[in-house]
A = this chain, B = another copy of it.
Amino acid sequence: MEAMRIEAFLRVCVTLLLITTACLVRFDSQTTLIFTSYSRTATFRDLNALFVLVFIDISAAGYNLIQLVIRGLLYSHWKPDMKGPYKHLAWFSFLLDQAVVYMIFAANSASLMVSVYGVTGEHHLFWMKLCNKFNRFCTQIGGALLCGYVASLLMAVVSFLSAYSLFRHYSPKTFLVLK
């Protein structure tokens, strides 16, 4: 039961952090003068990594909400055994939690990598740096990525807990046999 309460608390934190990240990226925009009479607005749509990040973060937050609802409904008559629906729920949570951590960590890292090009540019490839023009935009994206990494870390702990609550029901002697 302790594991369940910790897990529920962590899922709430992860959901809030993911929504914060998604909103910070989604509503980030800055208009600036690039050449003397040509102004441009930078939004998350300009970088497909950021677009993917918003999509993945919102999906992951939705998944965590569904998990919280399912666990809330089951909580009153929860038994720590692995009969019928509990076994399926445990496997389903384990696999999806793992997948969600991989996705949000990878989306964050991809955005970070692309943002690094925004900050430094890539002289060899004739890619110009952008963050000297779009200063506030870049700072907000930086904050969002920090928030996203904290969410990934907490989600990794959630996935450890769901692996723990699945596998502790299996026999230590024979392979993939329930106790």
Q: Mark A115-148, 1 if CB is under 8 A from B, else 0.
A: 0110000101111101000000000000000000
Q: Mark A86-114, 1 if CB is under 8 A from B, else 0.
A: 00000000000010011001111111111
Instruction: Tell yes or no: A63 within 8 A of B by CB.
Output: no
B170–A164 CB distance below 8 A = yes
Instruction: Tell yes or no: A74 within 8 A of B by CB.
Output: no
Count of residues in A whose CB is under 8 Å from the partner chain = 48
Minimum CB–CB distance from A35 to chain B (whole Å) comes to 11
Copies in the complex: 2
Q: How far is the CA of A173 from the CA of B1 in the complex (A)?
A: 9
Instruction: Tell yes or no: A49 within 8 A of B by CB.
Output: yes
Q: How far is the CA of A172 from the CA of B85 in the complex (A)?
A: 17
Q: How far is the CA of A105 from the CA of B173 in the complex (A)?
A: 32
Residue with the greatest number of chain B CB neighbours at <10 A, chosen from A49, A171, A173: A49
Minimum CB–CB distance from A32 to chain B (whole Å) comes to 13
Q: Mark A159-179, 1 if CB is under 8 A from B, else 0.
A: 010011011111111010001
Q: How far is the CA of A116 from the CA of B47 in the complex (A)?
A: 11
